[in-house]
Amino acid sequence: MTVALTRLDPHIPDPIESRRRAAGRTVRAAYATIVFGVLAFFVVYFGRPILYLGGPGSVSSPRYLVSLPYIVQINSITVVRGGSVKAGEEIGRVRSPQHDEIVATYMRSLADIAGRKAELRVKARVARESLDAARSHLQLAEEAVQLIATSSAASLNYRMDMSRERALANKAVVSQEAEAAEASTQLAALDEFSRQLSDRLEKVESSFADGRVFSPIAGIVANNPARAGQSLVAGTPIAEILDPTDVFVDWYVPNERLSDPKVGNEVFVLFGNRRILGEIMEILPVSDVYPGAGSSAARERTASQIARIRFSPGAHPPALNSAVDVHMHYTQLSARIASMLVKLFGLDEL
């Protein structure tokens, strides 16, 4: 038996057709979203280098390395990474066998000089005290030679003996005078050398300051300082101090660019959701490889030029050593459009 179904009201929508139309709209919306998303990705990815120049950077400040010119062993450290220190504040204590050896060498040299000076003083005194007797002997020998010269009874051998005696007396006087003068000269030279050694020893002792290590400036401890018990070779940093009053960004400018950045160009420093306005203050005449993580592990990183950026007045810079991205728009139009989009989506600086 065939049953005919008739709709009660043609204005009432069919539920099956309604579900089909709703599902179709959802599928078309999802498909359009995917297509336009992929299209937008390619437009942004390939069009970005035409709109602005972007590259990595690092927030930094003047660095002061605290180190000693000796092999040292750390006895104690009173600072930690990220801690604040004041200028002249003690940050640790060390001991140095090398410093002790240098001091001992100076002390041995001073002791040798003192012994040499004592010998010279003895020689100088002996020469001065015996000089009068030698001169009297010389005068007596000269008088004897003069008497013999006026006498005809003296033999030739006696005359030769007296002349030899006068020569020996004259030699003794000259030797005593020369020894006294030379001893005085050497004593003066040794006094000057001893003074120089004493000054150097005092400088070594004052610079070492009994093993106390002080901070040269007021700042922030950057890296992990040395640990107690650790031994360091000469010149190895015990701690690294950053000056928080002079913060800047070192921007590693990509080598592939449409135009070179110039001093005075405005840039945007991106840190998370923050966009901080800055200005290029200096183009460094050196190139270096960005120390942070590269965008591709397989791609070899090359050295690039470094531009130094200062933040605009009133801006709150990120933490020191933070990795940031820097964007420099080629035109004012692209910069305005980017600012409008950032404000539209609420991505402006917090």
Q: Above 50 in pLDDT, residue 350? A: no
Residue 182's pLDDT is what? 85
Which of 66, 55, 131 lies closest to 94 in space, CA to CA? Answer: 66
Could you give the domains of the chain?
48-62+243-344 (2.40.30.170), 74-90+213-242 (no CATH), 97-210 (1.10.287)
Q: What is the DSSP secondary structure assignment for residue 204, as one 8-state letter?
A: H
Q: Above 80 in pLDDT, residue 308? A: yes
SS3 251: strand
Q: What is the pLDDT of residues 215-267, one digit of tens each?
A: 999 999 987 889 999 999 998 999 999 998 899 999 999 888 888 899 989 99
Q: What is the pLDDT of residues 129-168, one digit of tens each?
A: 777 777 777 777 777 777 776 666 666 676 677 777 778 8
Q: What is the pLDDT of residues 14-44, one digit of tens each?
A: 565 666 666 667 777 777 788 877 876 666 6
Residue 47's pLDDT is what? 63
Residue 17's pLDDT is what? 61
